[in-house]
Amino acid sequence: MRKKKIQVRTRKEDLYELGKTVVESGYGNQIVVYDRERTVCDAVINRKKMDVQMFQTAMKEYMSDSGRRLQVLIRYAEKLGIRDEMMKYAEVLA
């Protein structure tokens, strides 16, 4: 895979399941996705690889949403080892 410049990453198996949920697609199929809180955590982890404006917009949108689950977000951040980073964004944007 390295010859094809495909980057393979692994996580602890228990973290793979963190935030996993099932939703129905527009065609009625069940698909496995990560919830918003896990997605926000992944954005923080990969923020240096993302477009700055896209990252900022995602964080602002999540933090301004009345349906946000900050306790879940912080719990995920703790498990993923990014609690301090997440707290910086939560304090500024919440």
Domain annotation covers residue 53? yes
Question: Is residue 93 very low, low, confident or very high in pLDDT (cuts 50, 70, 90)?
Answer: confident
Question: Is residue 5 very low, low, confident or very high in pLDDT (cuts 50, 70, 90)?
Answer: confident
Domain annotation covers residue 3? no
Q: What is the largest CA-CA distance in the chain?
A: 46
Domain annotation covers residue 1? no
The answer to whether 59 and 82 are in contact (CB under 8 A) is: no
Q: Is the pLDDT of residue 65 over 90?
A: yes
Q: pLDDT tens across 30-63, in order?
A: 999 999 999 999 999 999 999 999 999 999 999 9
Give the range of the structural domain holding residue 47, as residue numbers without chain letter: 9-93
Domain annotation covers residue 82? yes
Domain annotation covers residue 25? yes
Q: Is the pLDDT of residue 80 over 80?
A: yes
Domain annotation covers residue 57? yes
The structural domain count of the chain equals 1
